[in-house]
Amino acid sequence: MPSFRLPLLLTSVASVPFGLAGPVAAQDWVPAKPFARNSPYVAGDMHNHTTCTDGTVATSYLLNRALGSGTTNGIPNFNLDWFTHGNHGGSGNRDCRFSDTSANLPGNTTTYWTDTLGQTIQDVTITALKGDVPNPPPPRAAMYRWQSIREVEYPIIIAKSKQFKKVAIEGLESIVPGHEHSDTAVINGQFPVAGVGNADRMSEFEFRFDRADTDTLGPVDASNNPVWTGKSFDNNGTAGHAKAVQGVTWLQANAPLTAYYVPTHSERAGPFSPTASAGYNIEHFRDFNNAGPTVAFGIESPGHFAESNHSYTAASSGGATYGGGGLYTAKVGGLWDGMLGEGRNFFIFISSDWHQRGIFGARDRASTADFFPGEYTRLYVPNQSAFRAQSVLDGMRSGNSFAVNGQLINQNFAFTASANGVTRTMGQTLEVRPGDTVTVEMRMVVPASNNSPYSFSNPLLKQVGVFQPIDKPALDHVDLITGDITGVIAPTDAHYAMPNTTETVYNPSARIAETFNKNNSTATPLPNGNLRMEFTTTMVAGSAPFYVRARGTNIPPATPNVTDSQGNPLADTNIDNVVCDDPACPAHLPIIDGTRRVDFDVEAWSNLWFYANPIFIRPAGQPKLLVETNADLAASLVKTLSAAN
């Protein structure tokens, strides 16, 4: 196959369809990243923390590591193309212009807001902690997050965006009423065409809808009257969920193209509780997507990739993670397939959830907790000739995105379905006639090495006689997963709400339709040591709509303790059974029954997966799928909002 086809194909499918871009926003300091670098997609992260909440490093340090390139004093930076800061809601008593003492960064000791009031630091001056009452009580009073979002984080993020000439956005990991958490961003006002921007809408959303924000007051006007009135404190159970839906509705009304709402580590808190704040069931994601068709379009997989069991306990839905992913993502026929089986725009995203490196310092490469944004996990959205903050949201909303752990593949990716001369990619719908041949193609590049600090043989693969350096992973196989689309389930339908158990099958038609490995794909070594892999297959369109999604991994099927005979990831708790017996196995791994076991960062670098969002296929003449009508809604909103402006 001629090699020139790859960039041509990538260029054509990676672009967001014309007309879906949201309102113009000026970020003239961000230059275009040219396609000449073979960058059809650009990498980012949307979920990460600092000392403004429960992280360990300063906001500026986090962005330096995430967006910087090369090394700084011998410490690697991770050169992401874009960055959204997704810190918790609520409050925090530490000044996040400083890193925590535990980060072990020279010159940084834990500093509290009460230590720095009135001082100008990093061009930010905080004179008072605002809101109703200091929380917690003095001497270490906290700043409510609605204040730190707009007065501290936002100006630092814009300064760093200009320094690195890259897109950086002020977002939020909302602590959701009735549930656990949700990645959120509202970019209204952050990037004005002219003048100074603000994160007031992001801040307002946090104040109104974050259950950890207990402030009753919020900002006040010149007469000391609250500006944001009508806040509800129904934060738990069924009433809390109703408040969460109100939050999504608020986003849809105020920021239909400039916000997203993506529940994160959504299995971790277990099934939903009608009386407390716990996890999510499928009906809650349906509620969100119904209330916010252009803002609530997916979920995020766990993060915390170097933490033992990725922060999931036995009480989580599924009882563990699976190949680093949550059950909702990892199980064929599971919750994700249930949502796709309705034809919903419901996509999977993955980010770092960076807080800290556990027992190590921020400059160490070993970790017993998290990885920096870009170090391990990368979320790819389409590149654009003028990539802006809006491009991140447009790319995520479109579904044309994929997420990769451990640099198993890079940005040179194409996943398409074609018929009758028409090609569609992830998030899009291919219209066919029954009996048409649908050609599915995937092309990807496996980098020669990744960011792992370890180079000993992957202990998971060693079990099956494969000796592969951890820092030079190979793609073992890719699964194409298909499922039937049977239509949207109405809230009044008995199947709208379903039991949430590990065994629940939400879409029984979902299956691994085809698996590609070295025996049935084309592998081409590239001059830089990378490996290009490509494969093509055909499917015959029937009379019913369906979807095809993909996942890939470095782990063969039937690898003990890691995958089953079909190649599905097993519960990651099983990896505790795998011995790490190489002399180079690090000393921080746990010892069980006298032997060191695979865990923490070694487990993360050993067990790599990527997930590509679905392509939808619909027979002509059948009603449009919800994913299509919601994309149409976004397109019409672009026109409406453009006309209004």
Other beta carbons within 10 Å of 62: 30
Scanning 40-48, 197-205, 349-357, 471-479 for contacts with other proteins by CB under 8 A, the matching segment is: 349-357
Q: Minimum distance between the CB of residue 153 and other proteins, rounded to whole angstroms?
A: 14
**Between residues 396 and 578, which has the closer beta carbon with respect to other proteins?**
578
Scanning 60-68, 136-144, 148-156, 631-639 for contacts with other proteins by CB under 8 A, the matching segment is: 136-144
Strands of 576-634 (E only): list them.
591-592, 595-596, 609-619
Scanning 4-12, 190-198, 228-236, 545-553 for contacts with other proteins by CB under 8 A, the matching segment is: 228-236
Q: Which residues of 582-614 are buried (b: 16+ CB within 10 A; e: fewer)?
A: beebbebbeeeeeebbbbbbbbbbbbbbbbbbb
Binding mask 14-53 for other proteins (x = CB under 8 A): ---------------------------------------x
Answer yes or no: are the C-beta atoms of 396 and 297 closer than 8 Å. yes
Q: Does 140 bind other proteins (CB under 8 A)?
A: yes
- Distances in Å between the alpha carbon of 549 and those of 87, 97, 604? 30, 42, 23
Distance from the Cα of residue 627 to its chain's centroid: 19
Contacts with other proteins by CB under 8 A: the residue count is 50
123: left (phi over 0), alpha (psi -120 to 50) or beta: left
Rg (CA), the chain: 23
One-letter amino acid at 172 equals L
The Cα–Cα gap between 402 and 350 comes to 8
* Binding test (CB under 8 A) with other proteins, winner from 43, 142, 541, 615: 142
* Binding test (CB under 8 A) with other proteins, winner from 56, 60, 281, 482: 56
Q: Does 138 bind other proteins (CB under 8 A)?
A: no
Q: Minimum distance between the CB of residue 501 and other proteins, rounded to whole angstroms?
A: 22
**Between residues 82 and 144, which has the closer beta carbon with respect to other proteins?**
144
Q: Does 364 bind other proteins (CB under 8 A)?
A: yes
Q: Does 137 bind other proteins (CB under 8 A)?
A: yes
User: SS3 sequence, 306-358?
Assistant: CCHHHHCCCCCCCCCCECCECHHHHCCCCHHHHHHCCCCCCEEECCCCECCCC
Q: Minimum distance between the CB of residue 300 and other proteins, rounded to whole angstroms?
A: 18
Q: Does 106 bind other proteins (CB under 8 A)?
A: yes
Per DSSP, the three-state class of 115 is: helix
**Between residues 284 and 355, which has the closer beta carbon with respect to other proteins?**
355
Q: Does 417 bind other proteins (CB under 8 A)?
A: no
Per DSSP, the three-state class of 600 is: helix
Q: Does 220 bind other proteins (CB under 8 A)?
A: no
Q: Minimum distance between the CB of residue 120 and other proteins, rounded to whole angstroms?
A: 24
* Binding test (CB under 8 A) with other proteins, winner from 22, 40, 68, 92: 92
Return phi, psi of residue 382, to 5°: -65, 140
* Binding test (CB under 8 A) with other proteins, winner from 47, 65, 94, 378: 94
The Cα–Cα gap between 344 and 298 comes to 9
Return phi, psi of residue 170, to 5°: -90, 115
Scanning 362-370, 442-450, 514-522, 529-537 for contacts with other proteins by CB under 8 A, the matching segment is: 362-370
Answer yes or no: are the C-beta atoms of 489 and 495 closer than 8 Å. yes
Would you state the structure tokens that stand for residue 357, as one six-digit string?
Answer: 């490196």
Residues 453-472 that bind other proteins (CB under 8 A): 453
The Cα–Cα gap between 66 and 50 comes to 13
Scanning 91-99, 192-200, 488-496, 511-519 for contacts with other proteins by CB under 8 A, the matching segment is: 91-99
Q: Does 314 bind other proteins (CB under 8 A)?
A: no
By CB atoms closer than 10 A (0-12, 13-18, 19+), residue 496 is middle
Other beta carbons within 10 Å of 63: 26
Residues 582-601 that bind other proteins (CB under 8 A): 586-588, 590-592
Residues 488-547 that bind other proteins (CB under 8 A): none
The Cα–Cα gap between 461 and 560 comes to 9
Question: Which residues would be at the binding site for other proteins (CB under 8 A)?
Answer: 53-56, 73-75, 88, 90-94, 100, 102, 106, 132-133, 135-137, 140, 142, 175, 212, 214, 216, 231, 233, 235, 313, 355-361, 363-366, 368, 453, 586-588, 590-592
